[in-house]
Amino acid sequence: MADLTANLAGIVSPNPFWLASAPPTNTYGQVARAFDNGWGGAVWKTIGQPIVNVYSRYGGLDIGTQRLMGLNNIELITDRPIEDNIKEMRLLKKRYPKHALIASLMVESKREAWHEIVKRTQGETGCDGFELNFGCPHGMSERGMGAAVGQVPEYCAQIVEWVKEVSTIPVIVKLTPNVGDITYPARAAKKGGGDAISLINTINSLIGVDLDRMAPRPHVNGKGSHGGYCGPAVKPIALNMISAITTDPETAMVPISGIGGVSNWRDAAEFIALGCDNVQVCTAVMHYGFRIVEDMIDGLSHWMDEKGYETLSDFKGKAAPSVTKWENLNLNHFMRASIDHEKCVGCELCYIACEDGAHQALKLVQKGGRRLVEVKEDMCVGCNLCSLVCPVPDCISMVHVENGALDVTWKEFSAGKGKLADRPQHYTDIEE
């Protein structure tokens, strides 16, 4: 049976599934229940200076019948008294010594303020590490905290340095995705002495407009504001940012806690395959509750057993070397669509998508009393769209074709070498 023990910069947890700092980690009762259900760690809802929250706070993006593909929030850090948070963390760590408990912190950008909260929290809670919230994109950022820090590498490095002056436990720096190039704040976190990075926090967003009120959703007495976006829809953005950090020679070795749209064991395995040491989950728990972790643990360990991976390190980062720049992709690798007519239900969605939205490489033919879709081999560029819109699993697949159409690299082609002979092409045949 696979060993799921995770280790993030020396913080050990029984498995890689942590709750992200958010409403599910707001109280002792919630985190205790989560640990009883199997979660390996929890990052407590961010503590800091007192704040007041608005009513209401959340907006959802539904796609078809699938609810909460994206979640938007305008909530701030904890609105509970700091004494209560500290007391509950202390009791929790006492009762669950083997689980990872992380204190998430955010205070104004002053050395004394950071020193004070770090000393107090590590002294009074017994937590295993800190997570510095440099990511909250609304409310706090307008007061020079959260994303306002994460967006300026110099501030990021400076505050990490202040924290490291007094911290005796590992410091995780939680980054905002609301930047042009994530490698700059990641490098700054390392430069400041951070022990690990976590990402992503939420993405600037306005989830929608209520057309009856003519106001953004969610609204507060008729007015709305931009918020932070998360949930399954943000996973590709998180994966891309993580791969940018793991493929940057300056940050490649920095331990990473992956966050953003993790909803099941497969998502977690993908984050780990790109180089993460563990994952954090928020929206999926807000949607389905703590028990999803049972399936996550079962799924990940069965898959690891099947693949022969005994520990997380056996596949951590295994997919990272396959991420490269576009210019390094193989121009001589040729693919073509292949349709399994036994599986086809005749909906013709592939035909419409290809005809109107792609490369006009499918045709309708009458055969044996059926109207069938066939591939025009000389026109198919193997783009994949037909298989993406097909509702039947494995009905359309992409097959490798030996062609050797363009026997040069991208750089050589840009320099005028090679030609596009034998490649499917739409040469113009329109009369003047």
Give me the active site residues, please.
136
CB 111 to ligand FMN: min, Å: 21
Which one among 34, 41, 45, 88 touches ligand FMN, defined by CB under 6 A?
45
Of the candidate residues 127, 156, 262, 276, the single one contacting ligand FMN (CB under 6 A): 262
Q: Is 207 in the site for ligand FMN (CB under 6 A)?
A: no
Instruction: Select from 4-12, 17-25, 247-255, 298-306 the region that touches ligand FMN (CB under 6 A).
Output: 17-25
| Residue 48 is a binding residue for ligand FMN (CB under 6 A) | no
> Does residue 23 bind ligand FMN (CB under 6 A)?
yes
> What is the distance between the alpha carbons of residues 431 and 425, in angstroms, rounded to a whole number?
18
Sorted by sequence, the CB contacts under 8 Å of residue 292 that are 6+ apart come out as: 263, 264, 281, 284, 285
- Using CB under 6 A as the binding rule, whether residue 260 contacts ligand FMN is answered as yes
Rounded Cα–Cα distance for residues 347 and 373 (Å)? 10
- Residue 46 Ramachandran class (φ > 0 left, ψ -120 to 50 alpha, else beta): beta
Size of the site for ligand FMN (CB under 6 A): 28
Pair 273, 248: CB distance under 8 Å: no
E-state strands within 282-417: 334-339, 362-367, 370-375, 396-401
Residue from the set 231, 258, 275, 382 that interacts with ligand FMN by CB under 6 A? 231
Least Å from the CB of residue 358 to ligand FMN = 31
Task: Tell me which of 122, 176, 202, 251 binds ligand FMN, using CB under 6 A.
Answer: 202
CB 259 to ligand FMN: min, Å: 5
195 exposed, middle or buried (CB, 10 Å; 0-12, 13-18, 19+)? buried
Structure tokens at 429: 């045949």
If one asks whether residue 173 binds ligand FMN (CB under 6 A), the answer comes out as: no
DSSP state of 199: E
Interface mask toward ligand FMN for 364-403; x: CB under 6 A: ----------------------------------------
- Residue 133 as a binder of ligand FMN (CB under 6 A): the answer is yes
Residue with Cβ nearer ligand FMN (25 or 387): 25
The residue within the footprint of ligand FMN, chosen from 138, 174, 219, 316 (CB under 6 A), is 174
Nearest approach in angstroms of CB 42 to ligand FMN is 11
Q: Which of 15, 30, 176, 201 binds ligand FMN (CB under 6 A)?
A: 201
Rounded to whole angstroms, how far apart are CA atoms 141 and 145?
Answer: 5
Q: Return d(Cα 64, Cα 123) in angstroms, integer.
A: 49
**118 part of the interface to ligand FMN, by CB under 6 A:** no
Alpha helix stretches (DSSP H) within 283-335: 283-288, 292-307
316 — alpha (psi -120 to 50), left (phi > 0) or beta?
Answer: beta
Work out whether 267 is an interface residue with ligand FMN (CB under 6 A). Answer: no
- 129/231 with CB nearer ligand FMN: 231
Q: Which of 68, 102, 149, 259 binds ligand FMN (CB under 6 A)?
A: 259
Q: 3-state DSSP call for residue 93? A: helix
Here's the x/- map for ligand FMN, 134-163, by CB under 6 A: it reads as -xx---------------------------
C-beta of residue 116 within 8 angstroms of C-beta of residue 49: no
Interface with ligand FMN (CB under 6 A), residue from 4, 9, 20, 148: 20
The binder of ligand FMN chosen from 15, 85, 104, 151 (CB under 6 A): 104
Euclidean distance between CA atoms 222 and 28, whole angstroms: 34
Cis peptide before 81 (omega within 30 of 0): no
Rg (CA), the chain: 25
Q: Which of residues 13 and 201 has its CB atom nearest to ligand FMN in the complex?
A: 201
* Residue 121 binding ligand FMN, by CB under 6 A: no
Tokens of residue 280, six digits? 């954090």
91 contact partners, CB below 8 Å, separation of at least 6: 28
CB of 137 to ligand FMN, least distance (A): 10
Q: Nearest to residue 189, comparing CAs of 159, 217, 229?
A: 159
Separation in Å, CA 4 to CA 93, 275, 278, 285: 21, 15, 10, 20
The residues that touch ligand FMN, with contacts defined as CB under 6 A, are: 20-23, 45-46, 71, 73, 75, 77, 104, 133, 135-136, 174, 201-202, 230-231, 234, 259-262, 281-284
